[in-house]
Amino acid sequence: MLKNKKVAVVGNQTSMIPGTSGQFVHLVDTLLNSNIKVTKVFAPEHGFRGKADAGETIKDGIDAKTGLPIISLYGSNKKPSAEQLKNIDVVIFDIQDVGARFYTYISTLHYVMEACAELNIEVLVLDRPNPNGNYIDGPILEKEFTSFVGMHPVPVVHGLTIGEYARMMNGEGFLKNKIQVKLWVVNLKHYNKNETYKLPIKPSPNLPNAKAINLYPSLCFFEGTNVNAGRGTNLQFQVFGSPYLSAEVFNFEYTPQSNEGSKSPKHLGKVCYGKNLSNSENLNYLQLDWLIEAYQNTENKNEFFNSFFNKLAGNASLQEAIKAGKSAEEIKASWQDDLADYNKRIKPYLLYE
């Protein structure tokens, strides 16, 4: 499929495959060693080598190992331009996703597919397992809350591999003007979504292990509040806390510090009161009780939510329901009809049992 074609790769530190020596080798190096004409690399949030903070501007540059030009797809340039894709025959997308709507790599995939469709360039997605692929949960995004942390009418936990997600974007007309790209997906062998898949490489700086990845869909809501979700600790997305939570209710204390992946974490240098979830049982559903409990036990409730929360939720109703004192069960009941419809809609795009 790639022979005699000029290739661009959208990748990061997770774009690894096992080499002959048993160690991981980067996809770009593997392709070059196989005489594939890779001419440039596109880098998503966190950069090509995956060391930048969340939300940090990624600069264009040159990959020191291969000498290939690296073009950032984060910041002001989220969609490859016609000039950047000039003389490219096929774009390979190979990035590990974690199955949550607000994880921005699926938004990068959207813009890559859209740009390639407009220029009649093929897209080849190398599929990877979804570590949160064994369940589907959360509200469906409403159109007026579309942003880079939620571009499509899907639930918070979408249950698809990155290859299935690409097929859905094409088939459901999610791209601009309902344009479709010539899409190839290289399927996974022997993959079962109900089997636990432990990622061999951390997918981003603040998802260091399987527990953080499992808790991420539930704890990421705290990014839209004044609660710290473990950034600035070595338990990112495994603890939460803030100086405004009741120390009597939340008896776990920690102090966020500047570290790799979070140079300026929320409540830097301040004692936070919260919970340590690093030894909790694995979730196979979206947990709202922690969010509700934090809201109910915070000082100055009118300062709890920030403007980012509704983008993460994909609606205004979740925040309103929490403020109104509704339980997690009541809130989740309101999603069920939409989730049943979503489960029917995705069937044509599924590649695995």
Convert the pLDDT of each residue in 211-241 to its tens digit: 999 999 999 999 999 999 999 999 999 999 9
Domain assignment of residue 351, yes or no? no
Mean pLDDT of 313-331: 98
Provide the pLDDT for residue 59. 60
179 and 261, same domain (yes or no): no
Domain assignment of residue 343, yes or no? no
pLDDT, one tens digit per residue, over 11-35 is 999 999 988 788 899 999 999 999 9
Please check the confidence at residue 110 and state whether its pLDDT lies above 80: yes
18 and 149, same domain (yes or no): yes
Q: What's the chain's average pLDDT?
A: 94
155 and 52, same domain (yes or no): yes
Domain assignment of residue 347, yes or no? no
45 and 64, same domain (yes or no): yes
181 and 239, same domain (yes or no): no
305 and 180, same domain (yes or no): no
Domain assignment of residue 205, yes or no? no
Mean pLDDT of 56-61: 61
Mean pLDDT of 160-175: 98
Domain assignment of residue 41, yes or no? yes
Domain assignment of residue 188, yes or no? yes
pLDDT, one tens digit per residue, over 246-266 is 999 999 999 999 998 799 999
256 and 139, same domain (yes or no): no
Provide the pLDDT for residue 36. 97
Q: How many domains, the chain?
A: 2
Q: Which domain holds residue 101?
A: 6-199
Provide the pLDDT for residue 56. 47
Encode the chain in three state secondary structure.
Answer: CCCCCEEEEEECCCCEEECCCCCEEEHHHHHHHCCCEEEEEEECCCCCCCCCCCCCCCCCEECCCCCCEEEECCCCCCCCCCCCCCCCCEEEEECCCCCECCCCHHHHHHHHHHHHHHCCCEEEEECCCCCCCCCCECCCCCHHHCECCECCCCCCECCCCHHHHHHHHHHCCCCHHHCCCCEEEECCCCCCCCCCCCCCCCCCCCCCCHHHHHHHHHHHHHHHECCECCCCCCCCCCEEEECCECCCCCCEEECCCCECCECCCCCCCCCEEEEECCCCCCCCCCCCHHHHHHHHCECCHHHCECCCHHHHHCCCHHHHHHHCCCCHHHHHHCCHHHHHHHHHHCHHHCCCC
Provide the pLDDT for residue 48. 75
Mean pLDDT of 156-167: 98
Please check the confidence at residue 79 and state whether its pLDDT lies above 80: yes
Provide the residue type at 48 as one letter.
Answer: F
Domain assignment of residue 348, yes or no? no
Domain assignment of residue 219, yes or no? yes
Mean pLDDT of 59-79: 84
CATH number at residue 149: 3.40.50.12170
Provide the pLDDT for residue 47. 66
32 and 108, same domain (yes or no): yes
Domain boundary among 199, 225, 252: 199
Provide the pLDDT for residue 243. 98
Domain boundary among 199, 221, 249: 199
pLDDT, one tens digit per residue, over 261-282 is 799 999 999 999 999 999 999 9
226 and 193, same domain (yes or no): no
Nearby residues of 193 by Cβ (< 8 Å), 6 or more positions away? 130, 133, 134, 159, 352, 353
Mean pLDDT of 73-87: 92
Side-chain-side CA neighbours of 249 within 13 Å: the count stands at: 14
Q: Give the Å distances, CA to CA, from 132 to 75, 227, 286.
A: 27, 24, 11
Please check the confidence at residue 297 and state whether its pLDDT lies above 90: yes
71 and 153, same domain (yes or no): yes
Provide the pLDDT for residue 202. 92
114 and 256, same domain (yes or no): no
163 and 116, same domain (yes or no): yes
Exposure pattern of 303-334 as b/e (b: 16+ CB <10 Å)?
ebbeeebbbbbbbebbbebbeeebebeebbee
Mean pLDDT of 96-104: 97
